[in-house]
Amino acid sequence: MKNFILVFTFSTILAFAQIPAEKFSNQLKNYLSKSKSDTELLVWIFFSDKGPKIESHLSKPQTILSQKSIQRRAKLKENKSLLDETDVPISQNYIQQIEAKGFKLKQKSKWLNGISGYLRHSSLDAVSNLPFVKQIDLVSRLRKEYETFSADIEIKSENNVLQKVLNNHSYDYGTSFTQVQQINVPSVHDLGFIGQGVTICVMDAGFDNLSHEVFSSMNIIAAYDFVNNDSGVDDSTDMGKGSHGTATLSAIGGFKEGKLIGPAFGANFILAKTENTDSETPIEEDNWIAALEWADSIGVDVTSTSLGYLGYDAPFTGYTWENMDGNTARITIAADLAVKKGIVVVNSAGNQGFHAEHNTIGAPSDGDSVIAVGAVTSTGLRASFSSVGNTVDGRIKPDIMAMGSGVVLASSTSISSYKTGSGTSFSCPLAAGVAAIILSHNPELTPIQVRDLLRSSGSRSQNPDREYGWGIIDALKAINNTVPVELSSFNAKIIDGKVQLEWITVSENNVRGFTLERAENNKPFIEVAFININGISNGKKTYNYLDEQVLSGKYLYRLKVNNFDGSVEIIGETFVIVEPPAEFQLSQNYPNPFNPYTNITYTIPYTSKVRLGLYNVLGKELSVIFDGYLEAGKYSAIISSDYLGLSSGIYFIKMETAEFKKLIKLTLVK
């Protein structure tokens, strides 16, 4: 008997989540099962559509967005599609109908097509029965991670000319020189890039000392308090104290020679107060989302948020480390949407420190397009409080690092006093400031290009990890680098039991090819394929690769670009879950009739001993196709009539396991 030539492919069918018939989220149902009183709940109400007359908004972007916002989006999209349905305002008619049911409006999100506000238990059913209501969920409340501050420190202003000579730079940075020199900002300032032409939104707990000398030349173009819904972001008679915002704003854009200079002191600034520090309850995510959408409409280029969040104690609802997958937290979803609209989103990674078994980052830093910033000391070591990755789906976080220990900041006690602070709250604005001066140097860069330049400039760009990400950034290196590839998308999906990978590039420069790597169930990456391109392109190009060597499990794919200079950079990651088949199957061969080849496919739902044999019409076994153990998956085998010496006629394939038997008929026509 001749040995059978066998080709195996392994795959399974991707399981799609079932949409529940009821409109209450699991989080809300769980809360209601434990709470019986008719109290007010802070809820999200999401709508199924935007109502009529959507096209009238989409055809007139200037009625929704500023000209600067439109110009920023043009870097990513064609003119005919600068807006999409997420930009259309929420139907006012829908809001009015819900308010008639006793709902008290707090915030609106056109991007998520939902509103937040207060609603009693007893009114939930009435609201959920409205035909345009898609889902009701609790607004997650998120714990702020507090930083440490020193008492005010005395900073003596020396002779500016002497300090410039000693530092060999254009400005006298005083004691703030350490924090900006570590990321090579002074060298970029020497070239004239100080954030000019770039608009930055700082979202924080308020700004209590805007009269401080470090802000005297700052250009603040807009400010709004989303906690109290007024235009005052400083401390006043309403809720919230703003010393934290004063500190972070000074780190990114303060300017007082001899004392403190931030990386992007020449930028325009938008200030958003999003957290109520007066209350022991945590911040609500809806304030942050509303502020982000407002900043987008004005024309923001970079956002800096130094409020990392992760969970909250009962009875409040929040997110846990298991939700840090880039697709669960509402603020993460909104942050990634902002990047798609052309905004560079920079966020503190968090101050939860190291955990050997899981991540400690907080939302929205888990977003795949969000630049998560960790903290290092002045010597370049990771600060002990700095949160670590990776995300639940295996992506590397944090992205980059900057100094977050002993950072010089403006104080709230007087207009000329300073202090030091420690926390990723202060590494974030330093990194966001570098993002702004990168855009000053090249305004045409997209958010992903800015992220990739920051990563590629990092001290660990060749070996990123869950503690440092791509490492401490280098502003000068970032602006001198070119982005070899701008990746538009990188996706994985299941097709016919195999993983289909597709990526689209917008431009390619000095690129030799792409390396695809795969990690199964959080195991180390292995190389799957190398795709040789040997070319330069300035237009969109689409690449596809079919990965047949997969079984059931969680797979993280990583895409690397190989440059002609020998360097290799990670430019994209995508995640897919391959579920095992539901049952044993032996499919009809194809083609049938056949000559000389035909293909047999069969599925195994769990590890089993399998035997497949080829028989003639008299029941005689002509060949053993397979006899042994197989893991769960989908398999295929190619039969060659020439190799087996078969003549025209009828044949049979029989599949046998301990629980399953099946016979199919094959017809060979020569």
Residues 595 and 538 reside in one and the same domain: no
Task: Find tokens 């789906």 and name the residue.
Answer: 393
CA–CA dist 375, 400 (Å, integer):
9
CA–CA dist 25, 309 (Å, integer):
21
Residues 212 and 136 reside in one and the same domain: no
Tens-place pLDDT, residues 38-88: 788 889 999 999 887 777 777 777 777 888 888 888 887 655 577 888 988
Using omega within 30 degrees of 0 as the cis cutoff, is the peptide bond preceding 89 cis? no
pLDDT at site 64: 79
- Listed residues 427, 462, 480: the one ending a domain: 480
Residues 602 and 532 reside in one and the same domain: no
Residues 306 and 401 reside in one and the same domain: yes
Report if residue 7 sits inside a domain.
no
Task: Find tokens 């394929």 and name the residue.
Answer: 529
Residues 76 and 171 reside in one and the same domain: no
Residues 250 and 352 reside in one and the same domain: yes
Provide the pLDDT confidence category of residue 308 given band limits of 50, 70 and 90. low
Residues 188 and 111 reside in one and the same domain: no
Q: Is residue 416 exposed (0-12), middle (13-18) or buried (19+ Cβ within 10 Å)?
A: middle
By residue range, what is the domain housing residue 646?
585-668
Report if residue 456 sits inside a domain.
yes
CA–CA dist 184, 472 (Å, integer):
10
Residues 212 and 325 reside in one and the same domain: yes
CA–CA dist 211, 235 (Å, integer):
12
Please state the domain count of the chain.
4
- The greatest distance separating any two alpha carbons of the chain, rounded to the nearest whole angstrom, comes to 104
- Listed residues 546, 578, 610: the one ending a domain: 578
Residues 380 and 248 reside in one and the same domain: yes
Torsion, Cα 151 219 87 141, to 10 degrees, reads: 10
Cβ(251)–Cβ(436) below 8 Å:
no
- Listed residues 142, 174, 192: the one ending a domain: 142
- Which segments of 423-484 are extended strands (E)? none
Tens-place pLDDT, residues 420-475: 999 999 999 999 999 999 999 999 889 998 999 999 999 999 899 999 999 999 99
pLDDT at site 206: 84
Cβ(49)–Cβ(134) below 8 Å:
no
Question: Which residue type occupies 106?
Answer: K
Structure tokens at 102: 């006793």
Report if residue 17 sits inside a domain.
no
pLDDT at site 9: 33
Report if residue 55 sits inside a domain.
yes
Residues 457 and 312 reside in one and the same domain: yes
CA–CA dist 591, 635 (Å, integer):
17
CATH number at 167 reads 3.40.50.200
Report if residue 173 sits inside a domain.
yes
Closest to 119 (Cα-Cα) out of 34, 51, 50, 31: 31
Tens-place pLDDT, residues 496-526: 778 999 998 877 766 788 999 999 877 889 9
Report if residue 21 sits inside a domain.
no
Q: Which H/E stretch holds residue 511?
A: strand 498-520
Strands 661-668 and 649-656, sheet pairing:
antiparallel
CATH number at 515 reads 2.60.40.10
Residues 174 and 256 reside in one and the same domain: yes
pLDDT at 4 over 50: no
Report if residue 77 sits inside a domain.
yes
Report if residue 406 sits inside a domain.
yes
Residues 527 and 469 reside in one and the same domain: no
Instruction: Kindly state the DSSP code that residue 378 receives in the 8-state scheme.
Output: T
